[in-house]
Chain A
Amino acid sequence: MIEAQDLTRRYGDFTAVAGISFTVNEGEIVGMLGPNGAGKTTTLRMITGFLPPTQGHLTVGGRDLFTDPVAARREVGYLPENVALYPEMRVAEYLWYRAMLEGMSRADAKRRIPEAVTSCILQEVEKQIIGTLSKGYRQRVGMAAAILHNPKVLVLDEPTVGLDPKQIIAMRELIRELGREQTLLLSSHVLPEVELLCDRVIIIDRGRIIAEGSPQELRDSWLGNTLIRVELKEAVPEAMEVLGGLAGVRAVEAVAGDGGRFVLECWPKSDPREKVFRAAVENRWVLLELTEERASLEDIFVRLTTQEEPGVPEAGEEEVVS
């Protein structure tokens, strides 16, 4: 549905998107994840035809965005990050305007507007002036307008940002509902959301794709390295060496403090807790804490997108970076 090759976008000297390539297949829900300023919005704007790429090749629904921009735009429904609407219009008027803008016939518009209003649960506010609507309703108006013309691809930029928790749940439900029939590309900086909604995740940072795969794949390849927190009652100088020598332990790091606390990084799928316990018994250390810390996907995301972070695991990197 979407095929991006070597997409690059520069603003003056600043490179917002640096040669990213990916595909979105029909019926897939793909999440684009990255911290603010990673280049998500710029990428989505290129896909929707708002910004032309500085370099690279892009087709949507088989249409080339450079040679056939108007036709390509017809294939895309777009919900921008800050859903901007005309405050003086009524909801129904706005949807009619958008339908006409999409070049729909009056008959099509008459048929599709009630459908879109129903699927976005806007019946109650159809006659209301947009300026008086809450953020949640505005978001849904934007959504209804985006799906009016039955686009092949729906592009949603941060669809839940700025909503209250109840509205977020409603929005996610709506997205999941739409995702049953539609190809969907959405961006977010909230990881659980992407995990919840998407078949596939593309993590981007500083304009590059740094990881790609299903949430499960990402977890497997990036969460392999369990951390174990160890605390001894007294500082033992040789503890570092002993712990580092245990089978299954990849690295040891002393936690700043009294010298009795360590964090062990383990090799994937190993659990050296028992060995730590036996080592403590053998050396007559008093063990105060021995906890396994499974890093969440959130931690992985933070680690992936923060270069300064020490101890970034290299294992498996090659498999997921494209």
Chain B
Amino acid sequence: MKGILANFNREFRAYFFSPLAYIVAALLLLVNGVVFWLIVSYLNDPRASIGAPLELFFGQTVYFWLVLLFVAPVLTMRLLSEERRSGTIEVLMTAPVTEGQVVVGKYLAAMAFYTFLWLPTLAYPGLLAYYGEVDWGPVAAGYVGVLGIGSLFLSIGVLASALTRSQLLAAILSFALLIPLFTFGLLENLFNSESLREVFSYLNLWQHMEEFGKGVVDTRRLIYYLATTALFLFLSARALESRKWR
């Protein structure tokens, strides 16, 4: 536990010393702000179809996904690759901590910073509540989706970072892993076979977010995120351990 905590603390603080994290934060805020403004102004038009702005906000614009696909690699690329490049890994792995503790500590730090990045968006439902009525259930569900999918994406980023000593390679690798993961789900309609279609629909992250935005919290989705996160973190710990056998 202490090993996890020590890594978490260091890593979480390190985000605030990294200019890249501020760029990511600014980008996320900018894109979310613009998207929110566009949605609100679209719905303001009397001719628009009726919809809840936050339902559209969560995952129903391509910007949401573009930002997420960019944020996860950038937030995680440094975590393990930099330890290996700079050699601090030597001190880290001669301390009485296990590879698993290191990986989990760092993942949690990325997760915490990611959550922190989303906090300002709470202003949007706040604004809406000031001028009208907000159905808080779907909003909460939307955030569950944001965190769940974020967790999956970040764990993939951690794995990529464990596989190389170059931050750039780690970012490219996690991006390369995230793209198929994200697009697979969109292929659902390409298949005629009912069972194949179901598999792809299960993986359809866009659809997941659509459900969350409507306020549907399906435990299958949550289990999917938790299981994949656990799997990728496990693989990261093994990758970190692999130095021993080379």
Contact = CB atoms under 8 A, between A and B. Distances in A.
B88 A101 contact: no
B86 A84 contact: yes
Contact of B94 (A49, A52, A103): A49
B3 interface: yes
A76 B246 CA distance: 24
Interface of B is mostly: helix
Interface string A44-86: 0100111110000000000000000011011010101010111
A313 to B, nearest CB: 39
Interface in A62-119: 70-71, 73-74, 76, 78, 80, 82, 84-86, 88-89, 93, 97-98, 100-103
Nearest to A86: B88
Size category of the B interface is 20 to 34
Interface stretch (B5-13, B27-35, B184-192): B5-13
Contacts of B14: 86, 88-89
B90 A76 contact: no
B88 A70 contact: no
Given A70-B97, A73-B94, A84-B91, A101 B86 contact: no
Contacts of B94: 48-50, 73, 76, 78
Contacts of B131: none
Size category of the A interface is 20 to 34
Given A84-B87, A102-B95, 12 more contacts: A11-B246, A50-B93, A51-B244, A70-B98, A76-B94, A78-B94, A88-B17, A89-B10, A89-B14, A100-B6, A101-B2, A103-B3
Interface of B: 2-3, 5-7, 9-10, 13-14, 17-18, 86-88, 90-98, 243-244, 246
Interface of A: 11-12, 45, 48-52, 70-71, 73-74, 76, 78, 80, 82, 84-86, 88-89, 93, 97-98, 100-103, 142, 145
6 contacts: A80-B90, A80-B91, A86-B14, A88-B17, A98-B91, A103-B3
